[in-house]
Structure 1
Amino acid sequence: MSAEPTDSADPCCAAPLPVLGRDVTVPLVTGGEVTYAALDYAASAPALQRVWDDVAAYAPYYGSVHRGAGYLSQLSTDLFENARKTVAEFLGCREGDQVVFTRSTTDSLNLLAAALPADCQVFVFETEHHASLLPWRDARVTYLDAPRTHDEAVHTLERALADRDPYGPALVCVTGASNVTGELWPVRELAAAAHAHGARIVLDAAQLAPHHPVDVRDLDVDWIAFSGHKLYAPFGSGVLAGRADWLQKAEPYLAGGGASRKVARRADGGVDVEWHDTAARHEAGSPNVIGAYSIASACKALDEAGFDALVARERQLIATVTEGLAAVPQVRVLSLFGDDAPRVGVISFVVDGWNSSHFAAALSAEYGIGVRDGLFCAHPLVRTLLGGAPDEPGECGAPEAAPGERSLNAIRVSFGAGTPDEHVERFVRAVRELVTDGARWNYRTEDGRCVPDTGTEAVAEATAA
């Protein structure tokens, strides 16, 4: 498997990494408090304690980067540019690759979309997150049907690339790990297929980089995009890293200070602009120094913890969850490639007889467990997996039926380097109890969300039950 690391000799050796908020307690609707079980890492992971400590230590020394003569400006410039180098090393970038700091994965892929050469065709599977599915609308896009095996994914792409007309520049966009099923995609094989047909490939590593080591050279991808907030660094920055040529030839993503090398008035009253050809070309305005630094801090922390140990521990957590869900007949886990497909700590499922929003609300209100429900900004994929029409409309995250009624959405549990065993064990127990005994509280729909009913009659009813 392309992105699969080697097994660790001792899968029990790693403890969860300390994360911010690990001791936060939340109230239960049934009374009392419990330590919050954050199991929504696929949406946003908590900050590593190491990252928070590094940011707090730097914050008093913050200064405007580049061209500042003061000590703090010079210190901040060094820190910002060293963060770029750290990220490049973390990703295994090639000599000459550029690391551009952005706001998020979505921002990174929109930047690349704006840098496509003329007449470039884009190929993307319908299974992608909307961040990968939607930025290419100004280009000629071929949307590929959801594959059911790795081989089918590669063959589907090969046929589409071979049949493209005209046979010009092309870009393939693919995820490394699904944000819905957590399943790993055959990135290396897809990259080989793209290059064999004269195309380039960008890897959406938003769900892969926090869980597995990612090496641009080893996977042979042309670009990689990810977000800091999923990599335990939720401070508003993301990354686009990879080949420089398309980025250097494109108009700046944003026009303004920092992107320009020289600006001069013309005799006719207009202005001439000479743009940078470095990463600065697409980083106009004052950059998010703390965001960039936090990503670099997270990269160092993960490298120092060791991905072999982190992956081995996560596999234990995955086994606990998948085996626990498999023991409940009413639960169906969603999968593209089959139950045995390698995955990261992202698992989506539905429960017979339950509206997914109702189930997620009960997990939160009665057990202090935070999961996600809905379509996960991957509407075509979720609807395909649930047997609905891929083009059927639906608001992301909104329940489509009253509590207890069937809905065409799902529940997602996700975890990572900071997740203690107790959180997934509590989750498995909660699923079993909810399916067996039902919710202990009454719920209602409010503003498109399922919430505990706190009315006097509802409280009395729930208490009596």
Structure 2
Amino acid sequence: MSSSLSHVDCPLLPLVGADVTVPLVDGRVVRHVNLDGAASAPALVSVAERVNAVLPWYASVHRGAGYASQVSTALYEQARRAVGAFVGERSGDVTIFTRNTTDATNLLAGAVPGRVLVLDVEHHANLLPWRRSLGGCEVIGVQPTVAASLKALASALSSRQVALVAVTGASNVTGESLPLDALVDLAHRYGARVFVDGAQLLAHRGLSLAESGVDYVAFSGHKLHAPFGAGALVGRGDWLEGVEPYLAGGGAVRRITEDEVEWTDGPARHEAGTPNLIGAVALASAAEALSSLPPERVAAHESALRSRLVEGLADVPGAEVARIWTDSAEPIGVVTFRVEGVDPGLLAAFLAAEHGVSVRDGRFCAHPLLDRLGWGEGAIRASVGVGSQAEDVERLLDGVRAWVSGERSAEYRREAGVWVVANDPRPTPASLDVDRLVATAAACAPVGV
């Protein structure tokens, strides 16, 4: 292990499944290294414990006279307050529970009273929904520098009426971001509001609406180590009060007759149907756990791991790390790379089958950005965070170096467009008996590296 990583040899927070083992094609069983948290992050142990404590009280929210229902309602509203506090909710802001960031963005898109501006660096969830807004969406091409990109946004804002500027809090491809203080000042100068897609950002860095001036933020539990099907939209309530509910149904109605409907106010207006109590509790628990860590400690932990990964890749022949801007601040713990002449899907399959490392390959639901970078054929993404440790990074680097040097134990072929191990001796996931696999792995020889 690199001496530079000696102080990050343990996770900051324990994760469910941190000790799970996986079989390799050579017969060994190793600890699973999950570097795909940018897609879906494993649950925090504290989140799972909180969910288990709440489950016995699970009942109807807002609609029952029974004691369990009253407890469930109290838990749900308590979770709402905790989630709002997590992002610095202001007086007058609303916290609406959704399914995920995509759901939250679509909700707001139906309420925006005019044109939306976005850069083409965005995840599809922060590109496609804005076409629903009253004034439609205009996509601005990103520039090589942060300064030039802000100038392009300023030009667009000064030449037409814009209601909202939608930006990523941190790119799901490179981990980079525009400076929010400068962006908020710019947008507000021209009378536009700011929406931040916090899906990637909030598992790594804090955001306060009150302190930053950001008007709206959306995020997902499954990226915040709370994979129980909840997300949130938090921000100014006026636009959301003046529109038809995002979902029409029970709970969103104050009164209904054959001829007319009177919708309720507040978050309930957009939370029709039975609320996801467990998801809301899980999201709140994750928010509290992440907020309990000193920000400087999280940043130092992540910076050391990310720097080691980038430095290690720099020593691999043909490896290249993606960047959007030449002058951006240090990214969060997301690293996207490619190795010249190597299909990203093939390398990802090799890393999983022969090194027990999970990464993401493809275009990461950010096709315009990958095309602009000239990486339209895809790449590999590895992400580190509060649950990562030094050994995870070193295992990935060992695997990439092994591929480049030709150290391979298996043959690979494409099936239905996906790379798989030819004659794979491991259990087939499609027919997996999880209980049997867990028992087998536990009985195996000591875990390797």
- TM-score normalised by structure 2 residue count: 0.90
Q: Does structure 1 conserve the Cα–Cα contact (< 8 Å) formed by 2:146 and 2:328? A: no
For 1:272, the equivalent position in structure 2 comes to: 260
SS of corresponding position for 2:413: strand
Q: 1:17 to 1:387 in 2, by over 3 A?
A: closer
Tell which has more relative contact order, 1 or 2 (C-alpha 8 A, sep 6+): 2
For 1:19, the equivalent position in structure 2 comes to: 15
What pairs with 1:360-379 in structure 2 (closer than 5 Å)? 360-379=348-367
Q: 1:14 to 1:155 in 2, by over 3 A?
A: farther
**What are structure 2's unaligned runs of at least 5 residues?**
1-5, 426-449
Paired residue type of 1:177: A
Q: Distance in 1 between matches of 2:373 and 2:278?
A: 39
Q: Does structure 2 conserve the Cα–Cα contact (< 8 Å) formed by 1:65 and 1:80? A: yes
Q: Distance in 1 between matches of 2:29 and 2:8?
A: 30
Q: Distance in 2 between matches of 1:276 and 1:336?
A: 44
**Residues 116-156 of structure 1 deviation map (CA, whole Å, 9 limit, x = unaligned):** 22xx0110111100000100223422110022222122111
Q: Distance in 1 between matches of 2:19 and 2:287?
A: 24
Q: RMSD of the TM alignment (CA)? A: 1.7
Paired residue type of 2:189: A
What pairs with 1:316-355 in structure 2 (closer than 5 Å)? 316-338=304-326, 341-355=329-343
SS of corresponding position for 2:68: helix
For 2:223, the equivalent position in structure 1 comes to: 230
For 1:174, the equivalent position in structure 2 comes to: 167
For 1:459, the equivalent position in structure 2 comes to: none
Paired residue type of 2:44: L
In structure 2, which of residues 85, 92, 107 is the aligned counterpart of residue 89 of structure 1? 85
Q: 1:137 to 1:340 in 2, by over 3 A?
A: closer
Q: Report whether the alignment pairs 1:430 with 2:399.
A: yes
Q: Distance in 2 between matches of 1:41 and 1:432?
A: 22
Q: Distance in 2 between matches of 1:12 and 1:430?
A: 20
SS of corresponding position for 1:305: coil
Q: Distance in 2 between matches of 1:364 and 1:36?
A: 9
Paired residue type of 2:116: V
Q: Report whether the alignment pairs 1:191 with 2:184.
A: yes
**Residues 338-357 of structure 1 deviation map (CA, whole Å, 9 limit, x = unaligned):** 38741111110110121110
Q: Report whether the alignment pairs 1:413 with 2:385.
A: no
Q: Does structure 2 conserve the Cα–Cα contact (< 8 Å) formed by 1:210 and 1:230? A: yes
**Residues 199-222 of structure 1 deviation map (CA, whole Å, 9 limit, x = unaligned):** 111000100000001111222111
**Residues 267-290 of structure 1 deviation map (CA, whole Å, 9 limit, x = unaligned):** xxx332111120000000001000
Shift of 1:294: 0.3
In structure 1, which of residues 143, 156, 160 is the aligned counterpart of residue 156 of structure 2? 160
Q: Does structure 2 conserve the Cα–Cα contact (< 8 Å) formed by 1:14 and 1:313? A: no
Paired residue type of 2:75: L
SS of corresponding position for 2:132: coil
For 1:397, the equivalent position in structure 2 comes to: none
In structure 2, which of residues 410, 414, 438 is the aligned counterpart of residue 441 of structure 1? 410
Q: Does structure 1 conserve the Cα–Cα contact (< 8 Å) formed by 2:302 and 2:385? A: yes
Q: Does structure 2 conserve the Cα–Cα contact (< 8 Å) formed by 1:13 and 1:309? A: no
SS of corresponding position for 1:416: coil
For 1:62, the equivalent position in structure 2 comes to: 58
SS of corresponding position for 2:112: coil
Q: Does structure 1 conserve the Cα–Cα contact (< 8 Å) formed by 2:317 and 2:404? A: no
Q: Does structure 1 conserve the Cα–Cα contact (< 8 Å) formed by 2:10 and 2:388? A: no
- TM-score normalised by structure 1 residue count: 0.87
**Residues 318-345 of structure 1 deviation map (CA, whole Å, 9 limit, x = unaligned):** 1110111111131010101138741111
In structure 1, which of residues 232, 236, 242 is the aligned counterpart of residue 235 of structure 2? 242
Paired residue type of 2:38: A
SS of corresponding position for 1:322: helix
Q: 1:31 to 1:455 in 2, by over 3 A?
A: closer
Q: Distance in 1 between matches of 2:24 and 2:11?
A: 27
Q: Distance in 2 between matches of 1:147 and 1:77?
A: 48
Paired residue type of 2:393: V
SS of corresponding position for 1:209: helix
Q: Distance in 2 between matches of 1:89 and 1:428?
A: 38
SS of corresponding position for 1:136: helix
Q: Which runs of 4+ in 1 moved over 6 A?
A: none
**Residues 340-392 of structure 1 deviation map (CA, whole Å, 9 limit, x = unaligned):** 7411111101101211100111000000000000000000101211255xxxx
